[in-house]
Structure 1
Amino acid sequence: MRRLPARRPTIRDIARRAGVSESAVSFALNGRPGVSEGTRERVRRVAEQLGWQPSTAARALSGEGSATVGLVLARPARTLGVESFFLRLVSGVQEALAARGLGLLFQVVEDVAAECAVHRRWWAEHRVDGLLVVDPRADDPRPALLAGLGLPTVVIGAMDDPAWEPAPDGALSNLWADDAEAMDSVVARLDALGHRRVAHVAGLGELAHTRRRAAALRRAAERHGLHVTSVTTDYSDAQGAEATHRLLAAPRPPTAVVYDNDVMAVAGLAAAARRGLAVPADLSIVAWDDSVLCRSTHPPLTALARDTAAFGRRAAEELVALLDGAPARRTRDATPLLVERGSTGWAAAT
């Protein structure tokens, strides 16, 4: 049996539990005179037991909603200043929301436990009317939490974990692109160029799309008879460069490296140069998610390209549809396309 979404506690609930009037609850919670200290303490204790939080929006107090949707990003904050993907995604989200007069409440936290805490607080405070959720991961605590809160939600990214399976009458939609198909296209092209040893400098290991890309690489390698390896990082340029140095120092180093973002690919290009390697004569490089950065290096980087801002707009539009009462659905977005530039070429003879 599907669990019904939890209902936010109200002043009326507190009054009923504490055995006082609603006006007494208002006086007690707002620190106004008119109630005894004993009543004030009892009301506050009941409010805490019920999980009540004050609304921070006047519209929420009137029952009209907050006219705001939320997005929490559980990524190391130090990596966001150099990675353009989320900036472009959020710009597309904001464009679609602004067209409907909706605001975006955005917060960065260190881990998914902190993200769950933010979701619970926003729900209790009537802070948001819906949520955008990114980075599905293994053993993810968010599906159960979101089902309990009942907030309309759009998950951005493929939901491989059965825990994400939405109920037919639920309020959880999904927008996703096929990372496995994109990785297949990269491996097929590298194979055609004669590469037999391919490395993957991936992002955070707990993310579902990291695991999906690594698994797709292994399957494609088996089909083409290639030797492959994947290493995980925090998406930063520092760890991208460090991973590249380790890979290139191996007795039989890769002749091609696929990076999970543009920043690490540029760092890998610099790391190869420091080791005296020419790109693409000695090493081919492919970046995930094309950007101005990829087009500005020498040589310019081969990359998997998609319109990330448009991807964000479509995610926001899916959420607006849920807020308007449309049924939840899963929508597949276009697969990123491989754009070849100067960083890929024929494998060097080894």
Structure 2
Amino acid sequence: MDPVRRTPARRPTMKDIAQRAGVSESAVSFALNDRPGVSPATRDRVRRVAEQLGWRPSTAARALSGEGAATVGLVLARPAHTLGVESFFLQLVSGIQEVLARRHLGLLFQVVEDLGEECAIYRRWWAERRVDGLLVVDPRLDDPRPALLDELGLPAVVIGALAPGTPAHSGISTVWADDAGAMASIVDHLYGLGHRRILHIAGLPHLAHTQRRVRSLRAEATRRGLPDVHSISTDYSDTEGAEATRRALAQPRPPTAIVYDNDVLAMAGLAVANELGLAVPGDLSLVAWDDSVLCRSAHPALTALVRDTSSFGRHAAEQLLSLLDGNPAREIQDDLPRLMARASTAPPGS
């Protein structure tokens, strides 16, 4: 598919404001910098025009000199309470920062509640010349961000595969791992142990990687003729993970194995199993999607998908630097996560 190419939008300048307001550029400078030399009426008119045009002051001296902001941006649109103990993003940012430091680039990071706020931040950062490029996480179904970034002309790397049908964009690279293949490896492991009732406690349903995992689980279940295999969504928090586990285990035919979409969910599930007096793995097998010190320190240690998340972050940052250096966008498939079988999985009823 040919990349979508658009002419990047042009940032409004003081000259644009001066022409619209019918004043000199020096008057615009005085008004916007709150300096004496213009009347209150002129100051108000200039500020109204600046707001209408979407003008924002540059906050970086490098941008004023035309050298760029020496900063890249990363916005995470997830409920803040779900991030406190999840290790994935900490490791990802660690890898990103390692690469950026080599070029003396800063990382501007912000957490917001939803995608609308994230898009608004992109527009503000662009208008203020805050960042030279962006790292974009959690691709969505019907994701508006690639088209927005293309409109703004901001180089970006999407960490994770875009949803099927998303057009290619000339200034956007992707670095992704095979979620479908990883889920297939989990189902293969559990099926080989003899599990036929498998529950997937997933993350946010609108994320593209969640849907790929859900579809892969369904496909693997259909291929093996397993009717008692399901997915349910959560917000990735321990609270929802525990509640989902508790509901599932209260069913007349509860799952014999549960796959969790992160380590926090899995630890919450292990706590519920202990609370209910269920032996892991004797009564219930548990698998965590991403390995961490939590998985390795649990008793029993949790079977988990292992990958070098810091390396994943490094690869994404390297691709963004490549874009900033003028190289074409690329699609990079990272290493397939490897399932590490530990003491939390065994044949059912063992």
Give the alignment's TM-score, normalised by structure 1. 0.96
Give how far 1:144 is off: 2.1
Aligned to 2:118: 115
Aligned to 2:221: 221
Aligned to 2:191: 191
Once residues 23 and 201 of structure 1 are traced to their aligned partners in structure 2, the CA distance between those partners, rounded to angstroms, is 60
Aligned to 1:106: 109
Give how far 1:8 is off: 0.9
Once residues 36 and 239 of structure 2 are traced to their aligned partners in structure 1, the CA distance between those partners, rounded to angstroms, is 57
State how 1:110-259 maps to structure 2 within 5 Å. 110-163=113-166, 165-167=167-169, 170-226=170-226, 227-259=228-260
CA contact (8 A) 2:146 2:172 kept: no
Aligned to 1:55: 58
Segment of structure 1 superposing worse, 75-84 or 133-142: 133-142
Give how far 1:61 is off: 1.3
Once residues 207 and 186 of structure 2 are traced to their aligned partners in structure 1, the CA distance between those partners, rounded to angstroms, is 20
CA contact (8 A) 2:73 2:131 kept: yes
Question: What secondary structure, in the 3-state scheme, does the structure 1 residue paired with 2:336 have?
Answer: coil
Once residues 328 and 199 of structure 1 are traced to their aligned partners in structure 2, the CA distance between those partners, rounded to angstroms, is 38
Deviations 1:93-148 (A, max 9, x none): 11110111100000000011111111111111110000000001112221221111
CA contact (8 A) 2:234 2:240 kept: yes
Letter in 2 for 1:286: V
Segment of structure 1 superposing worse, 140-149 or 227-236: 140-149
Deviations 1:278-337 (A, max 9, x none): 111111110011011100011100000100011001101110110011100110001100
Give how far 1:151 is off: 0.3
Once residues 52 and 230 of structure 1 are traced to their aligned partners in structure 2, the CA distance between those partners, rounded to angstroms, is 46
CA contact (8 A) 1:304 1:337 kept: yes
**% identical equivalent positions:** 71
RMSD: 1.2
Give how far 1:42 is off: 2.4
Once residues 272 and 73 of structure 2 are traced to their aligned partners in structure 1, the CA distance between those partners, rounded to angstroms, is 38
CA contact (8 A) 2:142 2:163 kept: no
Pairs aligned (count)? 346
Aligned to 2:310: 309
Once residues 142 and 155 of structure 1 are traced to their aligned partners in structure 2, the CA distance between those partners, rounded to angstroms, is 10
Segment of structure 1 superposing worse, 258-267 or 7-16: 7-16
Of residues 71, 78, 82, the one that matches 1:79 is 82
Deviations 1:129-173 (A, max 9, x none): 00000001112221221111110000001112423x223xx2100
Give how far 1:224 is off: 1.5
CA contact (8 A) 1:132 1:155 kept: yes
Deviations 1:16-74 (A, max 9, x none): 22232221110111111112233222222221121100111111111111100000000
CA contact (8 A) 1:196 1:225 kept: no
Question: What secondary structure, in the 3-state scheme, does the structure 2 residue paired with 1:285 have?
Answer: strand
Give how far 1:92 is off: 0.7
CA contact (8 A) 2:98 2:314 kept: yes
Once residues 146 and 173 of structure 2 are traced to their aligned partners in structure 1, the CA distance between those partners, rounded to angstroms, is 12
Question: What secondary structure, in the 3-state scheme, does the structure 2 residue paired with 1:162 have?
Answer: coil
Aligned to 1:324: 325
Of residues 10, 28, 33, the one that matches 2:13 is 10
Residue 279 of structure 2 is aligned to residue 278 of structure 1: yes
Question: What secondary structure, in the 3-state scheme, does the structure 2 residue paired with 1:138 have?
Answer: coil
Give the alignment's TM-score, normalised by structure 2. 0.96
CA contact (8 A) 1:203 1:235 kept: yes
Once residues 82 and 327 of structure 2 are traced to their aligned partners in structure 1, the CA distance between those partners, rounded to angstroms, is 36
Which ranges in structure 1 are unaligned for 5 or more consecutive residues?
none
Once residues 65 and 161 of structure 1 are traced to their aligned partners in structure 2, the CA distance between those partners, rounded to angstroms, is 34
CA contact (8 A) 1:280 1:342 kept: yes
Letter in 1 for 2:87: S
Question: What secondary structure, in the 3-state scheme, does the structure 1 residue paired with 2:209 have?
Answer: helix
Aligned to 2:67: 64
